[in-house]
Amino acid sequence: MKIAVAKGDGIGPEIMDAVLKIFDANKVSLEYEFVEMGKWVFDKGFSNGMTPEAQRVIEELGILFKGPMETPKGKGVKSVNVTARKTWNTYANKRTFQTLHGVDTVFSKAGILIDLTIVRENIEDTYGGIEHMLTHDVALSRRFITRPGSMQVIRYAFEMAKQKGARRITCGHKANIMKLTDGLFLECFYEVAKEFPDLKADDKIVDDLAMQLVVKPEQYDVIVMTNLQGDIISDLCAGLVGGLGFAPSANIGDHISIFEAVHGTAPDIAGKNIANPTALLLSGLAMLRHLGFTENAAVIENALLYTLEQGIHTGDFGDRSTPSLNTTQFADAIISNFGKTPKANARPLLANNPETPAVCHLDRNAMMVSKEDEQEKIVGVDMFIESIDQPDSIAQKCLHHGGTKFKLLSISNRGTQVWPTGSKYTNLVNQYNLRFEALNEQALTQQDIIGLYVSLSADYKICSLELLNMWGDKRAYSLAQGQ
């Protein structure tokens, strides 16, 4: 079986060499096709951080094992890590966090064992990176949460939890504030939960979840979250078990999957052969299990756990009174412990059953659309304008723009209503939202919206607009604070 391998930047090449050395010593039946990705590829003029040949190979093989990669700063380019995950629709980012004996934390010293899996949505949310300056003072980021995308990652999380034998699956969210976006994600969670009645399914508001994870992490099992919140909470969980050096990551898609360490490139120690390869090794073990090399994965992981139990460590963790090993020596120590069993968390030796990834050669992009149960109706529009006028002055100017189709319902600034009611103690910026709704609940068309846009543009620069839609009796837009 052949997989694509990208060594990465900084410490990437040395930790990747250490992991592949361990794989080869355990006779893992894999061939490696090395591909060009990372900062040095950006520097050669490839704006997405990978060569066209690298993209072809990865799409042909279906598996990418990659080291950490750096995104050049200040050059207006996107992260190659995020680009790879999104390009190949690896919608589920699975990160596991377990107590490792030999890696001391406040929890391990207290005898509290942690076994957490975070499943983070990997494609949408603010990681779309869709941003605009609406005025010289106001930046906008669009946050997309979709029903099909949410269903993909949530269904994966439930299926993975069932396979793992999890006792509980929790949805982390902020639906109390972001009622439409996080609300949609939470709605999808409970919709999928109905198909898994044997799994305890519940939800936690993300700030409460963060506190609970620090206070009582042992009470959680599998947690599924949106992209940005999942990114932050998964790094928090890494801190619970010893840091990013012990945090593996798998990015799972229907056609292509990516396995990588969570940590960065650590340029300050690059080339010194002192980096800790554990996170990348754990990510590689997840890849081996994904490919059916279950026995190889168990032998290697047992050797790693045994090595850690013996107090063997690299310079970033462990007993400072004992000498640390460099990257190569640490890999050699793991190899020398093949066949040994750790005292805790020993992995069963299940026979290998390798399966070559079923790679589909697609001739078109998949379109994901859910069923529209109710008739869509346009009931108004939000017009975002640039102005330094006071709200009452703006309202007076807008009276004649509504014509026979629209009425000005409210004016808000940074999400807080400032007209027809509000407070003089609300500080303003030079960008307002004017909410126009249909007069007498009459049906509106996009042409009506364009007419209003043309009329309003005579007085104001219109930065952006959003239609106010309804599906049946369900309002599909939020209210301003105080509206």
Tens-place pLDDT, residues 467-476 = 999 998 889 9
Residue-range definition of the domain harbouring residue 417: 376-475
Q: Please compute the mean of the pLDDT values over residues 59-81 and round it to a whole number.
A: 83
Question: Using CA atoms in the order 309, 94, 293, 36, what is the torsion angle rounded to 10 degrees?
Answer: -100
The most confident of the ranges 8-12, 21-25, 97-101 is 21-25
CA distance 468 to 20: 54
Q: What is the pLDDT of residue 316?
A: 87
Instruction: Select from 271, 251, 197 the least CA-distant residue to 63.
Output: 251
* CATH code: domain of residue 445: 3.30.70.1570
CA 418, CA 434: separation in Å to the nearest integer? 10
Which position has the higher pLDDT, 352 or 209? 209
User: What pLDDT, on the 0 to 100 scale, is given for residue 262?
Assistant: 84
Residue 57 tokens, joined: 């190979």
Q: What pLDDT sits at residue 442?
A: 86
Domain assignment present for residue 52? The answer is yes
pLDDT bin (cut points 50, 70, 90) of residue 200 is very high
What DSSP letter does each residue of 274-323 carry, written as one string?
A: ----HHHHHHHHHHHHHHT-HHHHHHHHHHHHHHHHTT---TTSS-TTSP
Q: How are beta strands 168-173 and 222-225 bridged, if at all?
A: parallel
Question: Terminal CA-to-CA distance of the chain, rounded, Å?
Answer: 60
Is 117 within the bounds of a domain? Answer: yes
CA atoms within 13 A on the CB side of 200: 7
Residue 483 forms part of a structural domain: no
Question: Average pLDDT, whole number, for the chain?
Answer: 92
- Lowest mean pLDDT: which of 2-11, 296-305, 317-326? 317-326
On the question of pLDDT at 420 being above 70, the answer is: yes
Domain final position from 336, 370, 404: 370
Helix residue spans in 145-277 (DSSP H) = 147-164, 181-193, 206-215, 227-240
Band of the pLDDT at 385, cuts 50, 70, 90?
very high
Cis before residue 420, ω within 30 degrees of 0?
A: yes
Give me the pLDDT at residue 75, please: 59
Q: Is the pLDDT of residue 407 over 70?
A: yes
Region of 76 please: left (phi>0), alpha (psi -120 to 50) or beta: left
> Residues 444, 406: one domain?
yes
Please indicate, yes or no, whether residues 208 and 157 belong to a single structural domain of this protein. Answer: yes
Answer yes or no: do 79 and 175 share one domain: no
152 vs 88: CA distance, rounded Å: 14
Domain final position from 252, 272, 302: 252
- Whether pLDDT at 358 is above 70: no
Distance between CA 260 and CA 9 in Å, rounded? 13
What does the pLDDT average to over 53-74?
89
Asked whether residue 337 falls in the same domain as residue 279, the answer is yes
Whether 323 and 188 map to the same domain: the answer is no
309 and 366 co-located in one domain: yes
| 3-state SS class at 200 | strand
**pLDDT for residue 366 is more than 90:** no
The reply to whether 66 and 174 lie within a common domain is no
In this predicted structure, the answer to whether residue 389 has a pLDDT above a threshold of 80 is yes
Instruction: Determine, yes or no, domain membership for 482.
Output: no
For the residues 437-466, what does the mean pLDDT come to?
A: 95
With a cut of 70, say whether residue 63 has pLDDT above it: yes
**102, 35: one domain:** no
pLDDT digits (tens, 9 = 90+) for 108-144: 889 899 999 999 999 999 988 899 999 999 999 999 9
324 and 447 assigned to the same domain: no
Q: Answer yes or no: are the C-beta atoms of 295 and 321 closer than 8 Å.
A: no
The residues, any chain, with a CB within 8 Å of residue 332's CB and separated by 6 or more, are none
Could you tell me if 75 and 101 lie in one domain? no
Q: What is the pLDDT of residues 144-193, one digit of tens each?
A: 999 999 999 999 999 999 998 999 999 999 999 999 999 999 999 999 99
Give how many domains the chain has, as a whole number.
Answer: 3
Closest CA to 148 of 185, 199, 175, 98: 185
| Pair 97, 245 in one domain | yes
Find the mean pLDDT for residues 95-105. 90
**pLDDT tens, position by position, 242-292:** 988 888 999 999 999 999 988 889 999 999 999 999 999 999 999 999 999
- The pLDDT score that the predictor gives to residue 217 is 95
Task: Note whether residue 174 is domain-resident.
Answer: yes
pLDDT of residue 77: 67
pLDDT score for 14: 96
CATH number for the domain harbouring residue 115: 3.40.718.10
The answer to the question of residue 480 being in a domain is no
Q: Is the residue at 35 inside a domain?
A: yes
Average pLDDT over residues 197-213: 97
Give the position of tokens 């919608």.
Answer: 91
Angle, nearest 10°, between helix axes 294-309 and 278-291?
Answer: 160
pLDDT at residue number 70: 86
In this structure, the answer to whether residues 221 and 235 fall within a common structural domain is yes
pLDDT for 337: 97
| pTM for the structure as a whole | 0.90
- Whether the pLDDT of residue 371 is over 90: the answer is no
pLDDT of 357 over the 70 cut = no
The confidence band for 86, taking pLDDT boundaries of 50, 70 and 90, is: confident
Nearest C-alpha neighbor of 279 from the set 5, 23, 19: 19
Q: Tell me which of 198, 226, 252 is where a domain ends.
A: 252
Torsion, CA 413, CA 417, CA 422, CA 423, rounded to 10:
-40
Considering the domain boundaries, does residue 276 fall inside one?
yes
Q: What is the per-residue pLDDT for 76?
A: 62
Could you give phi then psi for residue 45, rounded to 5 degrees?
Answer: 105, 5
**What pairing do the DSSP bridges indicate for beta strands 131-133 and 139-141?**
antiparallel
